[in-house]
């Protein structure tokens, strides 16, 4: 009986961890929503697939390319000045943090070497 109860508790635990209970999950959800509206026209923001713009790396590639603080600084710079063919984006510093939280939630590609 105790084993069955423990199994039920362990199975229910992930469901209990909602965005309302976890600030990181809430930031990731806000970041996804923002990315869907601002970034998805060029970048693949989903965990798999190719970007609509071949020159725009998928977000999962960005997750593997940068450590979180460096990514946050890079996106803040891009938000202000743009980057190559990428125009400046009008987002607040808090929103940059949310986008970084979402990007860092993606599985990083494995190195084939």
Q: What is the pLDDT of residues 84-104, one digit of tens each?
A: 777 777 888 889 999 999 999
DSSP assignment string, 66-109: S-HHHHHHHHHHHHHH-BTTBPP----HHHHHHHHHHHHHSPPP
pLDDT at 48: 93
Higher local confidence (pLDDT), 72 or 1: 72
- What is the residue extent of each domain of the chain? 21-105
- CA–CA dist 63, 67 (Å, integer): 8
Q: Encode pLDDT of 20-46 as tens digits.
A: 789 999 999 999 999 999 999 999 999
What's the topology of domain 21-105?
Cytochrome Bc1 Complex; Chain D, domain 2 (1.10.760)
Measured on CA atoms in the order 36, 39, 44, 46, is the torsion positive or negative? negative
**101-to-50, 51, 58, 104 alpha-carbon distances in Å:** 21, 20, 15, 5
Is the whole model's pTM more than 0.85, yes or no? no
If pLDDT is split at 50, 70 and 90, which confidence band does 113 have? very low
**Residue 7 confidence (pLDDT) above 50:** no
Is the per-residue pLDDT at 5 higher than 60? no
Rounded Cα gap, residues 107 and 47, in angstroms:
7
- For 113, half-sphere exposure in the C-beta direction (CA atoms, 13 angstrom radius) is 0
Residue 8 above 70 pLDDT?
no
């Amino acid at each position: 009986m105790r084993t069955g109860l423990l199994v039920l508790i362990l199975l229910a635990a992930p469901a209990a961890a909602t965005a309302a209970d976890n600030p990181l999950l809430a930031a990731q959800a806000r970041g996804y929503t923002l990315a869907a509206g601002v970034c998805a026209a060029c970048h693949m923001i989903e965990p798999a697939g190719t970007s609509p713009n071949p020159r725009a790396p998928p977000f999962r590639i960005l997750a593997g390319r940068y450590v979180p603080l460096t990514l946050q600084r890079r996106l803040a710079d891009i938000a202000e000045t743009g980057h190559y063919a990428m125009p400046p984006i009008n987002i607040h510093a808090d929103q940059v943090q949310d986008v970084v939280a979402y990007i860092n939630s993606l599985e990083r590609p494995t190195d084939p070497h």
